[in-house]
Chain A
Amino acid sequence: MDNATITAIITCLITGLLSAGGWKFYETVLKSRAEARKEAKLERLAYRDDLIARVDKLESERGHYVEALTLLKTEVAALKMKISFIEQENTMLKLKLESRL
C-alpha cells in the first residue's frame, strides 16, 4: 500500500469514528430531551386526572347539598306558615283579652 492509500484509510477511520461518536452524543441528547418532555406530559396528565377527580367529588357534594337545601327550604316554608298562624292566633287572643278587660 502506498502512502496516499494509508493516509486515505486513516482519514476515513478518524472521520468514521468521529461521526459515530457525534451521532451517539446527538442521540443521547435527543433521548434526554424526549424523556424530559415525557415527564412533563405525565405531570400534566396527573394534574388533569387530579382535577377530574376533584370535579367529580365536588359534583357529588353539590347534589347532596342541593337535596339538603331543598329540605331546608321546605321546612322554612312550613315554619313560616306556622309562625303566620301563630301570629294570627296571637292577635286574636290579644283582641279577646282586650275585649274582656
Chain B
Amino acid sequence: MKQLIQKYKDILIYHDHQPLLLFWSISDLFNNQVLWTDLAFWESVGQPDTYYLYWVYFFISLGILSSLNRVEVCARFVFTYLMLHIFSTVRFLTDLYQTPDLEFELVIVKNLTITFIYFVLWTWIYTKMKKEAVYRKING
C-alpha cells in the first residue's frame, strides 16, 4: 500500500503531462456540444449562454492542440481553460446556494466531486507547464 501511494506521488511529480493533454484535448474537441447541438437546442432548455461557453471551450481545446510544441503559449490556453472551469464551478455553486429549498441530492455531490477532480487535474497540468516555461525562460 505504501509503495502504491509512493507510485502515485512519483507519477504526479515526475511523469509528463503532454500525452494526457493531447488525448484530453482531442476528446474534449470531439465531445464538445457545439458539434452535436445548436443554439436553438440550448435556448429551448433556457441556457443560451451555455452554448457560447461551449464555443469558448472548443476554441481553447483547439488552441491547446495547436500549441503543444510551444509550452508558454499552451500554458496560456490551459490557464484560460482552468479559469473557465473555475467560472463554471463557481457559477454552479452560487446558483445552488441561491436556490431556495434545495434538496442536496447525490447527483450534485457526484458532480461536485468530479468537478473538483477536474480542477485538481487542470491545476496540476498548468503548474507543470508553467514550471517548465519558467525554467526554460531562466535557463535560456
Contact = CB atoms under 8 A, between A and B. Distances in A.
Contacts, number: 42
Nearest to A10: B90
A12 interface: yes
A19 B130 CA distance: 11
A8 interface: yes
A7 B135 CA distance: 34
Interface in A12-56: 12, 15-16, 19, 23, 26-27, 30-31, 34
A31 B98 contact: no
Given A15-B86, A27-B134, A7 B91 contact: yes
Interface in B94-129: 94-95, 98
B130 A23 contact: yes
Interface residues of B, number: 16
B91 A8 contact: yes
Given A7-B94, A8-B91, A23-B134, 13 more contacts: A4-B95, A4-B98, A7-B91, A8-B86, A8-B87, A8-B94, A11-B90, A15-B83, A15-B86, A19-B79, A23-B130, A26-B134, A27-B134
Interface of B: 79, 83, 86-88, 90-91, 94-95, 98, 130, 134-135, 137-139
Contacts of B90: 4, 7-8, 11-12
Q: How large is the interface on A (under 10, 10 to 19, 20 to 34, 35 or more residues)?
A: 10 to 19
Interface in A58-77: none
A15 B130 CA distance: 15
Given A11-B86, A12-B83, A19-B79, A27 B138 contact: yes
